[in-house]
Amino acid sequence: MPTYQLSTAIYLENEQYKKIIVINENPQGNLQTLVKNLPNKKNSPFQSNIPCSTCIHGILNPNNTSELLCFKDIAYLFTFLSTNGYTIQYDLTKILLKSQINNLICYISI
């Protein structure tokens, strides 16, 4: 059973910063239809160059797949996950939250 990490990332899109939901890799199941590979570009001129190999996997809004899913709309993602057979791994999430992983939302599996 594959397990995936959901977290947040600050992403610059159309000259506007957004706090989006990302996943650590392309998932199995219906969630893969909502994953968009995004270049991990610099958010400011003070950041060093980021190699293209570090692209991030952004999640699209299930209600409007032309937009990235912002953190404020996370309820749409949890509705999608529960109706498509994904399980939130509560115990794993609690353990890793104690280790203070930055921007972690939760772990899910299918």
Name the burial class of residue 36, with classes exposed (0-12), middle (13-18) and buried (19+) by CB atoms within 10 angstroms of its CB: middle
At 18 the pLDDT is 92
Nearest to 76 by CA among 87, 91, 61: 61
**pLDDT tens-place string over residues 61-90:** 999 999 999 999 999 999 999 999 999 998
- Range 46-64 average pLDDT: 75
* 0.85 surpassed by pTM: no
3-class SS letters over 25-46:
CCCCCHHHHHEEEECCCCCCCC
Give the pLDDT band (50/70/90) at residue 14: confident
Give the pLDDT band (50/70/90) at residue 50: low
At 48 the pLDDT is 57
- Range 22-47 average pLDDT: 83
Domain assignments of the chain as residue spans, ordered by start: 3-109
Amino acid at 53: S
At 42 the pLDDT is 59
Q: Vertex 13, ends 10 and 19: CA angle to 5°?
A: 25
Averaged pLDDT score across all residues of the chain:
87
